[in-house]
Structures are given as C-alpha cells and as structure tokens.
Amino acid sequence: MATIGVVGLGVMGLGIAQVYAQAGHQVWATDAWPEAREAAAQRLRQGMEPRVASGKMAASEMEAILSRIQIGALEALAPCDLIIEAIAEKLDLKQSLFAELETISTATLATNTSSLSVTKIAAGLRDPARVLGLHFFNPAPVMRLVELIALPGTDAARITQARSWTEVAGKTVIACADRPGFIVNRCARPYYGEALALMEEGHSPGEIDAAMVAAGYRLGPFSLMDLVGADINLAATEGLAQAMGNHPRYHVFPALRAQVASGQLGRKTGRGFLHPNPLPAAPPDTAAIALRIEAVLANEAASLLAEGGTTEQGIDTALQLGLNFPRGPFASARRHGISEVLAELRRLQAAAPAPLKARYAASPGLLALQ
C-alpha cells in the first residue's frame, strides 16, 4: 500500500481521498481553507452514511476508511508517494501548488484537471518528469474511469506506480495524450453538438433523446445536458472550441447559448431542454437520428486516435465508463459499417451551410478504418 496525498477538499478531492482509503491506502489530505479542513471528516462521514443505512457498506468499513484519512497542513504530505491536486481549475494556482510541493516532497505529482494542459501545469518545475494527470470523474467513489495523462518526459516508473495504485483502488485506468479534453470531454462533444444541430433543424429535444434511448443509450444528449447543467456544457464546449482553433467540429451552436441565456439550465433550475417533461415515444426517424449522431462521434474518436497516445479500445471503454454509453464510438461505427458512416458524413457535409461543411469532413483516422 502507498501513502497518498490529496490537495483540495471539495467534492472531488474528498471523493478521491475516499477512493484510495477504501482500497487500504493511507491518505493525507489538506486544503488552503481552514474551514474546509475542519469540515472534511464530517463531510466524508455524511457522504458514506447513506450507504451504511442502505446496507451497501458496513459501519465498520466506513470507520476503517475514515481512520485511514488524516487531515493536516500541506507539509504533512511530505512522506506521500503520490500527491493528487483537486483544486480550482486555474493554471496559475496549480503551477504554484506544484512548485511548493516539489520542495517538500519527492512524490509523484498528479493533477486531476479536466480542462487544463498537464504540460503547462508542469512548466517551470525543476523535475517535470514527476508530473502526470489522473483525471477522475464525479462522483469519484462511484465512477470507475480514470484518464491517465503521461507527458513525453514523465518517468516510466512513476506512471506504472500511479496506474497500479489506482487500479488497486478499483478504477479502470485509460492512457491518453495531453490533448484538449483528453478522451471523454473531447469525444463527447459531438453527442451534444449534433443533437443541437438536429434541434436547430426542427427536431424536438424529446424526439432526439427518445431516439438515442431507443438506440441503447441510458440518457439522451439533452437529458445529459439537463443533468450536468447547460451552463457547464456551454463552458466546456467553448473551452474545447478555443483549444482546437475553433474548428467547425467544435462549433458552439446558438441553441445552446440561447438555452443558457434563458436561465433554464436543467435540473438545478427546475427546467431545461427536456426536464421535467417525460420522454415521448421514439420518432419514426429514430434510426436516422442515431446514425447521424454516432457517425460524428466515430469521426471525432478516429481523429483523436490518429493523434496518438491512446487506443481504439481505450476510447471505446472511456466513453462507456465515463458517459454510460452502451458501446464506444468505434463499436458503433462497425455496427453500422464504416462505409455507411462515411456515406452519412458525406450526406451531412453536402447539406451543411458553408461554415459548417468542414465539421463533417471524414478524418484521415476514420478513412483508415475502411
């Protein structure tokens, strides 16, 4: 067992601390705010008590987990083997924290960032070979996926150790390159984007979601946006579009901006694209809707695959675990047939307005799958 450090005691940081403690690791955790440190133990207990009450966790297990998590100052993390930061998504804050950690510990330094460049976070450190990314998904104790982002110069032994300790904690670790959005946040964009395109063309959110549920998806794209929040989805979409040079594949559709401007953000505001309305029956063109969305998903996934750093199986598994997809984009493409997917992209490209035609251009990676 390793000694794991966690910096940041918000929902994600507490969840990560629980993940490793539950696996038997000793955990030291801290936060810059004294109030967060003082409340951490009680918040952890409150988070696990419902599982105890429902019989999903023994009370003795909860007490054992809590006993393995110690809260202290940053200096208390000095003996840790691996330190994971889960602080605010601000590059300067993460850089400053890692610079300080580098002086007090020899641990592998991992960032839980979901949107920032791991390379930039490591910039300026004396030994950037100590840095990697471990992107957990929320809620960390429940979601099985962790994206592991190793830089070209990251020490191989540290990568192996971080993977091993995290897999021992019950997670499926998928390697990916330090690219905007990593795997899930990048490859998920077409799921929402193409649904928004369909909406702007006259389909209702209910019809689109019903079609995707009929195709095997647990939640349709609009239900997912309502769950997370349209504002959060917009921020992620805008961030990725900027990082990818505003390529039309990452187009921010006006329908999403309009939804956010309306204040109807989803479950958290009581009304969203679809919430609280029930799903209607699947529309007659269900198969066409599913093919369209799955074609653009496959195109994006193939584009990422061609950039290196991950595998076809890794991408499929990440989308299944990270978004509860019934199958990954490559599996979906082969289910339809690559030739059918390419034909659908050609149809979409021909029908698209000039600014969006490049959105549907088949990526070299997808063409290579023929």
The whole-angstrom separation of Cα 17 and Cα 45 is 12
- Of 147, 194, 207, 294, catalytic: 147
- Of 105, 112, 114, 332, catalytic: 114
**What's the pLDDT score for residue 370?**
87
Q: Which domains occur in the chain, in start order?
A: 3-176 (3.40.50.720), 184-367 (1.10.1040.50)
Burial class (CB in 10 A: 0-12, 13-18, 19+), 345: buried
- Of 25, 102, 105, 135, catalytic: 135
**What's the pLDDT score for residue 223?**
97
**What's the pLDDT score for residue 283?**
97
The total of other beta-carbon atoms located within 10 Å of residue 327's CB is 17
Cα torsion 262, 266, 270, 271: sign = positive
336 is known as an active-site residue: no
Reading the block at residue 346, the tokens are: 């050609």
185 is known as an active-site residue: yes
- Of 105, 112, 117, 185, catalytic: 185
Q: What is the mean pLDDT of each run of 10 residues along the chain (370 residues)?
A: 96 97 98 96 96 96 97 97 97 97 97 96 96 97 97 96 97 97 96 98 97 98 96 95 96 97 97 97 98 98 96 98 97 97 98 97 94
Q: Tell me, what amino acid is at 349?
A: Q
135 is known as an active-site residue: yes
**What's the pLDDT score for residue 203?**
97
**What's the pLDDT score for residue 1?**
85
Burial class (CB in 10 A: 0-12, 13-18, 19+), 290: buried
Q: What b-and-e string marks burial along 223-248, b requiring 16 or more CB atoms within 10 Å of the CB?
A: bbbbebbbbebbebbebbbebbeeeb
275 is known as an active-site residue: no
The whole-angstrom separation of Cα 309 and Cα 327 is 21
